[in-house]
Amino acid sequence: MDINYLLARQQISLMNAAVAQNMCARRAHTDLAAAYGAALSSLGFPVTRNAAGQPGIHKPGKIADLAIAAGGMAR
């Protein structure tokens, strides 16, 4: 897959998580962002990790805190 596509999808997922109306939707979008981050990482693209150690969250803060509060993003 194209790295630019994965980066764009990851950022869109993070933006969607930020405006999600409920915790379930927020978690789904956050998990998608983490999956895109993992795909980027597997292609050798440097991806930062959040406090829970999951790839894909470039800006620790509100979204990462919400994901951790919801039980993290573990599979």
- The pLDDT confidence band at residue 44, using thresholds 50, 70 and 90, is confident
| Mean pLDDT of the region 57-64 | 51
Looking at per-residue confidence, does 67 or 29 come out higher? 29
Residue 74 in domain: no
- The domain in which residue 20 lies consists of 3-69
What is the count of structural domains for the chain? 1
Question: CB-hemisphere CA count at 13 Å for 72?
Answer: 9
DSSP 30-41: HHHHHHHHHHHH
Residue 54 in domain: yes
pLDDT of residue 61: 53
Average pLDDT along the chain: 76
Among 55, 51, 75, residue whose Cα is nearest residue 64 = 51
pLDDT of residue 57: 46
Looking at per-residue confidence, does 17 or 66 come out higher? 17
The rounded distance, in Å, linking the Cα atoms of 22 and 42 is 30
Residue 75 in domain: no
Q: Are 63 and 40 in contact (CB under 8 A)?
A: no
